[in-house]
Structure 1
Amino acid sequence: MKRLDPKRSAIVVIDVQEKLAAAMPEERMKDLTRAATVLIEAADALGARVIATEQYPAGLGRTIAPIASGLAKLGAPVIEKIDFSAPDEVAFERAWAGLAPHAAIVLGMETHVCVWQTVRELCARGTNVHVVVDGVASRRDDHRAVGLELCRSAGATLTTMETVVFDWLGRAGGDVFKRLSKLIR
């Protein structure tokens, strides 16, 4: 396995929306929000790309505020979809082709539905996929566990937010390291 290069990576934020978030276990949402906001900040500092999706936003609401503000700061595309698998959505496919990343860092919800189906498709297309375990949620923990196992079976690497950030950094020292390690503490 090669080290992750932020300039060849894209964070994929799947459906972290208001009405879905309200149905998730509180502790999982806290972890997911933290993982997403730190990764978006790291992407900004290190040059990774970011893309997000919203599943039927008219019914499920928009991306939750802490994550939406980070996406807006970066000018990251937010793709509305009705397909569970983001790559099945034409607008996502166009935006993804423009990013042309080597690695996808995936987080969001629900783990066993939209995250899993997106990961399966990205893996099938030959993308190096990393699923952030502290950045995914399902309404039930057993569904989350099944979703993670399905992602692993599809060929994804299970990882954590900290693992991704420190792999991107590669070494301690410097202003960016200080900025990001302060967020992680």
Structure 2
Amino acid sequence: MLLSSERSVLVVVDIQEKLMPAIAESARVERNAATLLKGAALLGVPAFATEQYPKGLGPTAASLRALLPPDGVVEKISFSAAREPAFLERLERIGRRQIVLAGSEAHVCVMQTALSLVGLGFEVVLVADAVSSRVPANAELGIARMRAAGATIVSTEMVLFEWMERSDIPAFKAVLDLIR
């Protein structure tokens, strides 16, 4: 199964200002999430972010907020975004079944969202180099559990090249510049 820019939606889970300082390799996670958001914009892939209890954890990181549309955030209190009506309504409006996930924490909100989406029949793709947790071992366990449940595990570059499909598209050079 290859990713498709026509079937995918990118969801950035809970990369929030007050949470990220505690996340292992947070700079990598934020950088790769930004690369995915920029690539999604260049290739016509809808994207949005979730925020877990923003009153406590703050808003989405500023570097990512700047890449989202004005209505690009869905607030939540459930660890699984798929247990929030506003999240499911957003996915329904977008009308795509291939969900590409990035974010934190890998073993809590990202994993619970992924498992819920798999249970609802979505095709879930986890971008492993764009997720982490406070404790790296927890992230590894979360990724292993998502894989076992049927999520496909990929990297940022895999996503971008699969979304592009070909090297002769107008956005090729701009997307390539994102990963150089």
Partner of 2:91: 96
Aligned counterpart in structure 2 of residue 140 of structure 1, from 135, 142, 146: 135
C-alpha distance in 1, partners of 2:71/2:178?
21
Structure 1 moving runs of 4+ over 3 Å: none
Aligned counterpart in structure 2 of residue 35 of structure 1, from 29, 32, 35: 32
Comparing 160-169 with 28-37, greater Cα deviation is found at 28-37
TM-fit CA distance, 1:173? 3.3
- Equivalent position amino acid for 2:48 in 1: I
TM-fit CA distance, 1:100? 1.6
Partner of 2:149: 154
Matches within 5 A, 1:42-81: 42-72=39-69, 75-81=70-76
TM-fit CA distance, 1:102? 2.2
1:47-66 per-position Cα deviation (integer Å, ceiling 9, x unaligned): 11112110000000000011
1:102-154 per-position Cα deviation (integer Å, ceiling 9, x unaligned): 21100100000000000001111111111000100100110000010111111
TM-fit CA distance, 1:76? 4.9
C-alpha distance in 2, partners of 1:146/1:154?
12
C-alpha distance in 2, partners of 1:168/1:15?
23
Question: How high is the TM-score relative to the length of structure 2?
Answer: 0.96
Does the 8 Å contact 1:106/1:129 carry over to 2? yes
Partner of 2:18: 19
Aligned counterpart in structure 1 of residue 120 of structure 2, from 117, 125, 139: 125
Does the 8 Å contact 2:39/2:178 carry over to 1? no
1:78-121 per-position Cα deviation (integer Å, ceiling 9, x unaligned): 11110000010111111111112121100100000000000001
C-alpha distance in 2, partners of 1:99/1:87?
15
C-alpha distance in 1, partners of 2:48/2:6?
14
TM-fit CA distance, 1:174? 4.2
Higher helix fraction (1 or 2):
1
RMSD: 1.1
C-alpha distance in 2, partners of 1:148/1:70?
26
Question: How high is the TM-score relative to the length of structure 1?
Answer: 0.93
C-alpha distance in 2, partners of 1:11/1:59?
24
SS of residue matched to 2:18 = helix
- Equivalent position amino acid for 2:122 in 1: T
Provide structure 1 residue ranges, at least 5 long, that are not aligned to the other structure.
Answer: none
C-alpha distance in 2, partners of 1:131/1:24?
17
- Equivalent position amino acid for 2:135 in 1: R
- Equivalent position amino acid for 1:56 in 2: Y
Identity %: 40
